[in-house]
Amino acid sequence: MDQAGATVNAVDTVERWGLFELALRGPADGNPYQDVEFGAEFRHGHRVVRADGFYDGDGTYRVRFMPDRTGPWTYTTRSNAPRLDGTEGGFHCLPAGPGNHGPVRVAGPRTFAHADGTPYHPFGTTCYHWTHDEDEKLEERTLRSLADSPFNKVRMCLLPTRAMNPPRLPYPGRDRQPPRPGALDTTRFDPEFFARFERRVRDLSDLGIEADVILFHPYDEGHWGVDDMSREADLALVRYAVARLAAHRNVWWSIANEYDFNKAKTLDDWHHIGRHVQRLDPYQHLRSIHNGTRMYEYESVFDFRAPWTTHQSVQHWDASFAPEWLDRVPKPVVLDEIGYEGILGRRWGNLTGQALLRQFWHGMTAGAYVGHGECYPEEDPDGAAWISRGGRLQGEAVPRVAFLRRLWEQAAPDDRFVYFGDRRHPHRDVELPAAGGPWRVDLIDTWNMTVAPLSGPPRRGRVRVPLDHRPDMAVRLSRAGTA
């Protein structure tokens, strides 16, 4: 289809929760990022969904859409530029293909599920800037590592830190490329930076991994000028990022990492940005914000009663606090940062594998989820810490987290887990649930990754579990007769 001289590129069929894209030619003069409004209305029967489009450079405008219902869809573009306004077309939405369960949603006060009802348990890891160096070899190594790992969510940043000098940034420089410190033009964006970023988001989706996109953080410290941009510039970044990324089914939004360490913004600023993301995202992807902490000294967990937050993204060194957060706010808790396994000189970056795994078990048995990270830069041939640039996973916790994930995903709805932590008990008495039963009891060695049934018939009431002074033990309680 061609109207008013605009070239249209679009496909005829898209699977459910896939990505439809329409590309049009339009004005390239002036500042199209600010001057041109562009989007489309997508219709399925009487339902109308509006999606913002974006300028992709060189006179090309795109609008992307994630259909959530099968059958015929039609669209009409809307723009203040006549060449982009009123283009009509349609496509047919097919059933979702294998492995496509749709975006993740909150399913209950403590749980997540995909849009098709498939349960989802977040086992996340952190690779803040693995896409920024444009190191193809390192990025591919990161993807191979993730493919062989238990991790199904990756936290990743849009904006650079002070210490970085990447080939490209979300913004172009005013005078030269790559931009020099303090010379970014925040009224425009760099489409090539975003194209690479979103290519890696697609790669994660192909692996069944969620991309937890961190929009802001406090690590610029005045260098690039992205920590203390105007509200107008902040919201423009949000608008552009949502227009480019929201149609990917595996996207989550983290409004900020360690929001409270950014002294240039107030709580009102963060709420305003969060509500803006909520307004702009046609698909209502998961949204949260992540607090900072002085390790073992204090924390300032965000007030997640805010309606725009869908779940609680928490940084804390002790997962045993999870019941308090769950009692205070009935939204799932994800301890996205609890400290990292590694050998850094900082307290948050030198946990042993056992210490990190224990936090996983404390958090999971309390009804929360726990995130992973690694800091072994001296052991990596590229000199990169996993949390910064990805690469290879080396930690001792990784296979044990994989074991934990298998246990959780194989558990029956009525299964219960009790974790005994790092103490060397001779035995522990466990009160069995009064409802249901009798109960079968399995003894789990969380570090050596073994499961052994406790001898004797199924039980009711109370059971004494022999631990023989072994740390890192747990039990699984299952109704007798269940698989």
Q: Looking at the predicted structure, is the pLDDT value of residue 396 above 60?
A: yes
What is the pLDDT averaged over residues 391-412?
Answer: 96
| Predicted pLDDT of residue 76 | 98
Torsions phi, psi for 77 (to 5 deg): -80, 150
Q: Looking at the predicted structure, is the pLDDT value of residue 6 above 60?
A: no
Kindly compute the dihedral angle of the four CA atoms of residues 465, 418, 148, 379, in this order, to the nearest 10 degrees.
-80
What is the pLDDT averaged over residues 83-107?
Answer: 97
Return the SS3 of 449. coil
Give the pLDDT band of residue 464 (cuts 50, 70, 90).
very high
Question: Tens digit of pLDDT for each residue in 227-247?
Answer: 999 999 999 999 999 999 999
Q: What is the enclosing helix (H) or strand (E) of 438?
A: none
| Predicted pLDDT of residue 5 | 42
Question: Tens digit of pLDDT for each residue in 155-204?
Answer: 999 999 988 889 999 999 855 455 555 579 999 999 999 999 999 999 99
Torsions phi, psi for 47 (to 5 deg): -90, 135
Distance CA(27)–CA(4), nearest Å, equals: 12
Give the pLDDT band of residue 1 (cuts 50, 70, 90).
very low
Q: Looking at the predicted structure, is the pLDDT value of residue 268 above 80?
A: yes
Of the candidates 353, 354, 343, the one whose C-alpha atom is nearest the C-alpha of residue 380 is 343
CATH class for domain 2-94? mainly beta
| Residue 398 contacts residue 365 (beta carbons within 8 Å) | no
* Domain range summary for the chain, segments of one domain joined by +: 2-94, 104-410, 416-479
212's tokens:
């937890």
CATH 3.20.20.80 fits 104-410, yes or no: yes
Distance CA(206)–CA(104), nearest Å, equals: 15
Question: Tens digit of pLDDT for each residue in 277-307?
Answer: 999 999 999 999 999 988 778 788 999 999 9
Domain 2-94 identical in fold to domain 104-410: no
Q: What is the enclosing helix (H) or strand (E) of 198?
A: helix 191-206
Most confident of 9-18, 67-76, 430-439: 67-76
Question: Tens digit of pLDDT for each residue in 359-386?
Answer: 999 999 999 999 999 999 866 555 569 9
Question: Tens digit of pLDDT for each residue in 12-40?
Answer: 999 999 999 999 999 999 999 999 999 99
Residue with tokens 């709420």: 271
| Residue 377 contacts residue 365 (beta carbons within 8 Å) | no
* β-bridge mates for residue 53, sequence order: 63
395's tokens:
């930690």
